[in-house]
Chain A
Amino acid sequence: GDSVTQMEGPVTLSEEAFLTINCTYTATGYPSLFWYVQYPGEGLQLLLKATKADDKGSNKGFEATYRKETTSFHLEKGSVQVSDSAVYFCALGGRGGSNYKLTFGKGTLLTVNP
């Protein structure tokens, strides 16, 4: 069945450091890929998505590229801020951006220190 494996945390960085959170997936067909973020005390929010191979999703300085050849969707940000401290989830959905039945990774806790 479908599955998502993401980098174990926690990850601790200093402000302005470069961030990478690795995510790989196993799926049949043409899945869509998502990154969700959960800030302390808040619900999950969609950060970015990509619906087909080679698409790049971006939002708030975060980027991720859908790589079908390596079945990966790594999250990157060039310069993190304290306000980026949160739990990040990689998720797999259906074709064409379908998100009615998402498969999530375990989440990666990011802490950014000033």
Chain B
Amino acid sequence: DAGVTQSPTHLIKTRGQQVTLRCSPKSGHDTVSWYQQALGQGPQFIFQYYEEEERQRGNFPDRFSGHQFPNYSSELNVNALLLGDSALYLCASSGNGNYNSPLHFGNGTRLTVT
């Protein structure tokens, strides 16, 4: 049973470009959350998707947007990349839409903006 899978594992982009990161949740999970982890920091909540809708959002600008597909997979899009967007982006999935269902994290996508 595959866990949470994220692609790509590493990515290098230039300032001003746009990037799309992908996440496939653990089998049976229907809720996907995205976190940004800057170097030496803890993960910061970006947003959560459930039933293809953004259910909750953290303190991130509109340059960060997302989508959830009918198969529960999700994408994170970042426009107009800044150097400060360089970070590890983590996807976490959980099941049943419950707020206290255990989170399962992927290994992340390492984004470097030059």
Residues of A within 8 A of B (CB): 4, 32, 41-46, 51, 89, 91, 94, 96-107
Contact = CB atoms under 8 A, between A and B. Distances in A.
B42 A43 contact: no
Given A43-B4, A43-B90, A43-B105, A96 B100 contact: yes
A99 B40 CA distance: 22
13 contacts: A43-B90, A43-B106, A45-B105, A91-B42, A96-B99, A98-B99, A99-B94, A99-B99, A99-B101, A101-B56, A102-B45, A103-B45, A104-B42
B43 A104 contact: yes
Contacts of B3: 43
Given A42-B107, A43-B4, A106 B100 contact: no
Contacts of B42: 4, 89, 91, 104-107
Interface in B87-108: 90, 92, 94, 99-108
B105 A101 contact: no
A26 B4 CA distance: 31
Interface of B: 3-4, 31, 33, 35, 40-45, 48, 55-56, 58, 90, 92, 94, 99-108
B100 A99 contact: yes
A100 B56 contact: yes
B44 A104 contact: yes
Contacts of B90: 43-44
Contacts of B105: 43-45
A99 B105 CA distance: 12
Contacts of B106: 43
B43 A102 contact: yes
Which of B33, B42, B99, B100 counts the most chain A CB atoms within 10 A?
B42
